Chain A
Amino acid sequence: MTPLRSALILLLTAGLVAPSLAAQDPAPPQDPVTDESDITAVIEKGGVAQLRLAFPALVVRPGTSSGAATAIRGFERALRQDLESSGVFAIQGPEELSVLDLTGDRGQDFELYRSLTNETVLLVEGYESDERFVIEGRLYDLASQQSILGKRYRGTFDLSRRVAHTFSDEILLYFTGTRGIALTSIAFTSDRSGHKEIYLMDYDGESVRPLTDHDSISMAPAWAPTGDNIAYVSFFAGPPAIYRVDLATGAKQPIVNDGNLNSSPDFSADGTRIAFTRSLEGNTEIFVANRDGSNLTRLTRSAGIDTNPAFSPNGTKIAFTSSRAGNPHIYIMDTDGTNLQRVTFEGTYNDGAEWSPDGTKIVYATRRGRDFDIAVTDLALLDTQVLTSAVPGSHESPTWSPDGRFLAFSTTLGGKTQIRVMPATGGPARTLTGDGNNMAPDWSAYPPR
């Protein structure tokens, strides 16, 4: 992460529209968020109504080298994918727009885009300057013909995907009031090398990179909310213990490695504490400790299995799995172990709870028949929706995207396990992985700006 971040000094997010154009555009708003206006209302209700966006082919200015042009085309591909996968837009272009007989006159052309029921248009130009590629993107409201968002980005040729993700996140922020997730990443476990190791990939499954090389069993990655390190469980030194890997240096160090079993790490949202499972005389209980493993405190006392703790986003509660009532179910307690409350009652096996970013819901794996499904329970109403009943396979290990709009999880089907992403309300899932078996996804927080 940090090497990428340092490369980002090359990427300059310029202010709004270029001066030459600003003259033609009646003052674009300085802060996009303050001008959400009525467009936001259109896309509420879980993205049922999509914003109709015309996105004609990006224009590469003459005099652009082939290296810069390749970067610009890569940018366009990634941006289209980002906007498409956000689910917020119904996008036309370039193919759907080819039926239009554009005139070159902006007013007339905007009317033509509008004639195909589009509400907005995204016009993007790319060119080269000082061995960097430059992108200028402008969004216009077609009804008023007003410019609503303008951005210029500049970067080395290898940053095309990153520039696209950055722009996409800004567009999403403008239209939804919530920053997009295109710059987030997912930690996961894969056996592609022959051993289970911890890996990292971009939110769309691209740029997979290994984080561990223990040649043992390594599993259960958990992001530190600071985004600079990931806790995980490994057997490489003997019994399962909790370690952390520093993403900038690759350095690994133990967090809790004494005793017979330490597993299932989860950081508090402020990053200062870690909840985990620890075995005492063969019985697993929930513990919390400082992030360096000091100040160990036991929170549960039951003869059953207690495992898989998850801090609530506000840091006051911990959800976990317990078999104290016979079968595994999800319970919630305060972070000092008091105020225990059982929150799942259906199914024979509920496990792996993760809180929604707003703290109102938990998602987990539930066993209703032979296989596992992904279920979401509203904690105020204790109302449960099973999201994957109609999706073939067994589904486990759900994790929320930081905007709360998506869930990543693993699906086992035909003897293979892969990581997929679907809307948090259910619906079609995209498969992100394919090499070996891939599981236990943990979605990062937003990277710092």
Chain B
Amino acid sequence: MIRNRMVLLASLVLLIGAVGCGKKPQTAEAPVIKSVEPTPTDVAPPPAPTVTEDPKAWMNEELAKVTEMANQKGLLGDVYFDFDRFELSADARERLAKNARFMLDEPQFVLTVEGHCDERGTNDYNLALGEKRASAARDYLVSLGVPANRLRTISYGEERPFCSGSSESCWSQNRRAHFMISSRTDG
């Protein structure tokens, strides 16, 4: 668990370093963890011009930093699910209560809840299952008072695994809802 968080942190640092990366940080995260061969821009980011061309890149970077700092404080952490299930466990509810507290304390942020699955089962079914997981987490946050208009969901199914490997130790990490600050209510 701790090691995973370190991997996540390291990847976020990498991500922040890649200023030139024009893609949205929340979707760029998983490939870094999977160590898919980095694109040339990841290795040698072009200097400032890219930033001025795309002002949103700065914001995305800042938002990624917000998520990272929340993670460091044990907030906005992932919640995990059983195989082929989308019900929230007691642990998941506890984690979500912390995540809800963060969102209530920081009303300027919009949170995207990503739904993920392990590799077993078909890609199509897992897309639907990830949607269920993301919305189960979203609904619980709403029940704790987080306004629904500050929450987004997206399912990645089994397409962006956190851990690549075919064992339960990996699979259990991939059956998750993942949380990313994705925009600002004022921006």
Contacts and interface: CB of A to CB of B under 8 A. Distances in A.
A394 B139 CA distance: 34
Contact of B159 (A219, A323, A367): A219
A263 B131 CA distance: 11
B129 A220 contact: no
A228 to B, nearest CB: 24
A283 B124 contact: no
Interface residues of B, number: 29
Contacts of B136: 282
Given A282-B139, A365-B122, A260 B153 contact: yes
B70 to A, nearest CB: 23
B173 interface: no
Contacts of B135: 279, 281-283
Interface string A422-443: 0000000000000000011000
B123 A220 contact: yes
Contact of A220 (B119, B120, B124): B124
B122 A305 contact: no
A281 B153 CA distance: 10
Interface string B152-187: 011110011000011000000000000000000000
Contacts of A216: 27
27 contacts: A196-B159, A216-B27, A217-B156, A219-B123, A220-B124, A233-B127, A235-B27, A235-B156, A260-B153, A261-B131, A263-B128, A264-B127, A277-B124, A279-B135, A282-B153, A283-B135, A306-B128, A307-B127, A308-B122, A323-B84, A328-B121, A328-B125, A349-B121, A352-B124, A367-B120, A372-B120, A415-B165
4 cross-chain pairs, A with B, having the tightest CB-CB distances, nearest first:
A282-B135, A284-B128, A307-B128, A264-B124
Given A284-B132, A308-B124, 6 more contacts: A260-B153, A261-B127, A261-B154, A283-B131, A328-B84, A351-B122
Interface of B: 27, 36-37, 84, 119-125, 127-129, 131-132, 134-136, 138-139, 153-156, 159-160, 165-166
